[in-house]
Amino acid sequence: MLEALAHRRLKEILHHTSSSWPNHLTLCRLIARSLRRSDHTLLHMEPGSKNEWWLGLLVPLCLESRGNILVLTPSQRRRLFDIEFPRLQQVGVKVGYWEGEDPPLDERLWLLDYSGLLKAYKQGYLKTKKLIIPEAERLTDLLRKAMAIHVKPEDWEKLRKSEPALDGSLLQFYEELTRRLFTKKSRFHKLVRIYNDDMVELKSLLSLSALLLNPWSSFLKHDPNEWAGWAELDSSMLSWDWHYQPLEPLKLLPGLLTNQSTLLMTESGKHGIVPVDLNDDDFQPTVLVNLSNRDSKEPISLFAPLRQPLPNTEIYAEYLLDQSRRLIFGRQGLTVILLDDSQLRLKLTSQLASEFGKRVVHQTQVEESNGVICCCWSWWLNSLDSLPCPDQLIIGLIPLASLESPLIAARVEAMKRNGQDWFRDFLLPKALSLIPPAVASLRSNSGRLAILDGRLRRRSWGDKILQVLEPWTPLHRLLPN
């Protein structure tokens, strides 16, 4: 059987590597089983796997590459060609692969990016194939970006020149919309939402045209109620770029995950995939496995006082500064402070830098071993592999997505129209999916976690955050090292 062959081959390879990850052989057998049975499989790996899963994925694919499609992001593809393929070649294992837009005519593994996946779906190439998607917790975000429509200022000029009969109407629409967008612009946000009424009006104008090229032809195909639009303003040029993305990509791609065998892998634990994103009424895995690491059982030291101010109170900014100062003082290792509020984060960075000097940086590498990085959640999650393990992590604000984001606001409005609980079905699960991978390195480093958001203890949903952090031990007071 494929499972036994893959197990034996990987065991031979592991004799030549220094990896201590405990799940190599288990993952290998699970993937080989999924390939052999052509079923729907969802594998949750604990945060902190640090790309160790590649061997367990690639060895079965070396033995059975026929009809398999591996969907990769640009960073995954770079790792595959720069690290994983050379590592396999050193031990005498070679993977035959194909990167064309059409399916391979032989039995080679087909590598696709997300744009290629969409093209293959539309051409009907996915049927009878086996679809393999690593880091599936990012699936909907990556599909949304691949489906996105981007309209630049020059696209409006080309449209007007190609449609002389509509020139006056288009110019009037564009100028009125531009005035309204810049009126809504704030000092700290350059993204302004474009509402459905404007998109419906533009669609009615464009429908009078006999022939339209992209991006306009793509825009006409979509229902504004299922998409979100916003403008990215350039105040220096008084111009703007228009971004248009689907609210729920999988609902617009029926059968993408179900018309063929599908294997989804996540690196964020069982909370990594938000159910409303995955549209789990459509995708029901026949095999669901959670793979845990030894490090995931190590408790985190958690400092989260019972009585803390809420973020919307006047005293919160001062409280955050005072507690951050106390937490940083005397620490020998790296401190990371997580805040998605850009205005508050920049202010805190400046205040801490005035006291701790060059140790404090904003969203960049730090030179001092006891440095302090103030950053947003997305920057930290994207930089985990390139930064040392922190000595402590300070969560200034729980990462609930802001309704100031045009995409988030549009998704919330759509859920309200459908009678869904937009907070408990969307915003809260999204926040819960970010926390485990953000704090995973603290377990192996015996680091300290501090949560300074008063909502943790004063809101009923705060218990869910404590649950995804388990195991943890409370720190009731700060003591010097």
pLDDT digits (tens, 9 = 90+) for 22-71: 889 999 999 999 999 999 999 998 887 778 899 999 999 998 888 999 99
Give residue-wise pLDDT tens across range 164-223. 888 999 999 999 999 999 998 776 678 999 999 999 999 999 988 877 888 999 999 999
Of the chain, the percentage scoring pLDDT greater than 90 comes to 70
**What does residue 346 show for φ and ψ, rounded to 5 degrees?**
-65, -40
Q: Looking at the predicted structure, is the pLDDT value of residue 292 above 90?
A: no
Give the pLDDT of residue 81. Answer: 94
pLDDT at residue 481 greater than cutoff 60: no
Predicted pLDDT at 185: 79
Q: Do domains 2-146+253-291 and 298-474 have the same CATH topology?
A: yes
Residues present in the chain in total: 481
Give the 3-state DSSP-derived string for the chain, with helices as H, strands as E and coil as C.
Answer: CHHHHHHHHHHHHHCCCCCCCCCHHHHHHHHHHHHHHCCEEEEEECCCCCCCCHHHHHHHHHHCCCCEEEECCHHHHHHHHHHHHHHHHHCCCCCCEECCCCCCCCCCEEEECHHHHHHHHHHCCCCCCEEEECCHHHHHHHHHHHHCEEECHHHHHHHHHHCHHHHHHHHHHHHHHHHHHHHHCCCCCCEEEECHHHHHHHHHHHCCCCCCCCCHHHHHCCCHHHEEEEEEEECCCCEEEEEEEECCHHHHCCCCCCCCEEEEEECCHHHCCCHHHHCCCCCCCCEEEEECCCHHHCCEEEECCCCCCCCCCCCHHHHHHHHHHHHHCCCCCCEEEECCCHHHHHHHHHHHHHHHHHHEEECCCCCCCCCEEEECHHHHHHHHHHCCCCCEEEECCCCCCCCCCHHHHHHHHHHHHCCCCHHHHHHHHHHHHHHHHHHHHHHHHCCEEEECCCHHHHCCCHHHHHHHHCCEEECCCCCCC
pLDDT tens-digit series, residues 122-149? 999 998 899 999 999 999 999 999 999 9
Task: Specify the fold of 298-474.
Answer: Rossmann fold (3.40.50)
Q: Does domain 2-146+253-291 have CATH number 3.30.43.10?
A: no
Whether pLDDT at 281 is above 70: no
**Domain parsing of the chain, residue ranges:** 2-146+253-291, 149-249, 298-474
Instruction: Compute the mean pLDDT over every residue in the chain, rounded to the nearest whole number.
Output: 91
Classify 131 in phi/psi space as left (phi over 0), alpha (psi -120 to 50) or beta: beta
| DSSP H stretches of helix in 221-315 | 275-278
Q: What is the pLDDT averaged over residues 324-342? A: 93
pTM: 0.92
Instruction: Report, as an integer, the average pLDDT of 309-314.
Output: 95
Q: How many helices (H) and strands (E) does the chain have?
A: 20, 18
Angle value at C-alpha 324, between 318 and 327, nearest 5 degrees: 145
